């Protein structure tokens, strides 16, 4: 299966998300992984960017931080993480 490359705005949005979530979660962040249609290479123009965030510690706090960071990036980039 051919993998569809991410667009420049998608790559930039994911880079920003990665930088900000790493800074926010520090050593509690165990893994970040792109999954779903973008990772499989079968996305459509309206597909979102699915990101798995694996943490130790306070999962609820981590989820709140990830949602807030993703929201800011979504608004700024007109994408959906």
Closest listed residue to residue 6, CA positions, set 52, 53, 50, 72:
50
* Reported confidence tier of residue 4, pLDDT bands at 50, 70, 90: low
CB neighbour class for 78 (10 Å; exposed up to 12, middle 13-18, buried from 19): exposed
Average pLDDT score over the chain: 93
The residues that bridge with 53 in the sheet, in sequence order, are: 32
The whole-number average pLDDT for the span 17-41 is 96
Q: Which residue has the higher pLDDT, 2 or 35?
A: 35
The whole-number average pLDDT for the span 59-79 is 97
What whole-number percentage of the chain has pLDDT above 90? 89
| pLDDT value of position 45 | 87
């Amino acid at each position: 299966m051919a993998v569809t490359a991410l667009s420049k705005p998608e790559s930039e949005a994911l880079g920003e998300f990665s930088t900000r979530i790493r800074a926010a979660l520090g050593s509690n962040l165990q893994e970040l992984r792109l999954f779903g249609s973008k990772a499989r290479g079968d996305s459509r123009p309206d597909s979102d960017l699915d990101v798995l965030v694996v943490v130790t510690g306070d999962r609820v706090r981590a989820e709140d931080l990830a949602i807030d960071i993703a929201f800011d990036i979504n608004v700024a980039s007109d994408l959906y993480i």
